Copies of this chain bind each other. A is one copy, B any other.
């Protein structure tokens, strides 16, 4: 059974390696994990030993099927716990990450199955990210950014790209939550800033903000 540290590394490699095999490099993992490259190398050797990753010296690393299964199971737990915190314990979406980061490592199959039942089989976490199923399958949704929406079109918030605390707080402050209806009124050609209509009030946002919000066209 993988240790907490191993699980965190697997998750980091999973998130970094959306492309193909042998694509994730040591420095990228070190940056994501807030450790040094030398620590990453040590861990990669251990994970390779356990056949959770394919690792070739100097070439990069990727998850094996077993590693992928393990990683997506941790992500499943992380997102189910985030959902629990928001749905049942009055957490807001910018408060859940650190706690879920701990809860995802609790070892109990029954616990996570029953949590899933208790939450009525949610498909997405509070940030709009899909919750992998028991087999590790993740629902692939083609994500559109708010920045890609043309003036006059109405859409609703389907998630965020970067769920950094201060970004989520910005959204809260401006009454944008998961599912909130957004209409693009004007797209300024000069800086690509947008004027939106949200709940009968208008809001101007920068290109950077619009590039961090996923939407679904109504």
Q: How many copies does the complex hold?
A: 2
Instruction: Let me know if A110 is at the binding interface, CB within 8 A.
Output: yes
What's the Cα separation between A114 and B118 when bound, in Å? 17
A108 within 8 A of B: yes
Q: Tell me if A85 is interfacial: C-beta within 8 Å of chain B.
A: yes
Cβ-based interface call for A91 (8 A)? yes
Whether B111 pairs with A106 at a CB distance below 8 angstroms is: no
A88 to B110, CA, bound (A): 13
- How far apart sit A98 and B110, CA to CA, in the bound complex (Å)? 12
Flag if A90 contacts B114 (CB, 8 Å): yes
Flag A88-104 by CB within 8 Å of B: 1 or 0 each: 11110001001100110
- A140, CB-defined interface residue at 8 Å: no
| The residue from B89, B110, B111, B115 contacting A111, defined by CB atoms under 8 A apart | B89
A57 contacts partner chain B, Cβ-Cβ < 8 Å: no
Indicate if A107 sits at the interface (CB-CB under 8 A). Answer: yes
A89 and B106 contacting across the interface, CB-CB below 8 Å? no
Query: In the complex, are the beta carbons of A118 and B106 less than 8 A apart?
Result: no
Complex contact B89–A118 (CB within 8 A): yes
Shortest Cβ gap from A122 to chain B (Å): 15
Q: Which residues of chain B come closer than 8 Å to A114, judged between CB atoms?
A: 89-91
Closest approach, in angstroms, between the C-beta of A128 and any C-beta of chain B? 22
Within 8 A of B (CB), among A105-160: 106-108, 110-111, 114-115, 117-118
Q: Is the CB of B110 within 8 A of A106?
A: no
Cβ B88 vs Cβ A118 within 8 A: yes
State how many angstroms separate the Cβ of A46 from the closest Cβ of chain B.
21
A118 to B107, CA, bound (A): 23
Point out the residues of chain B lying under 8 angstroms from A89, CB to CB: 110-111, 114-115, 117-118
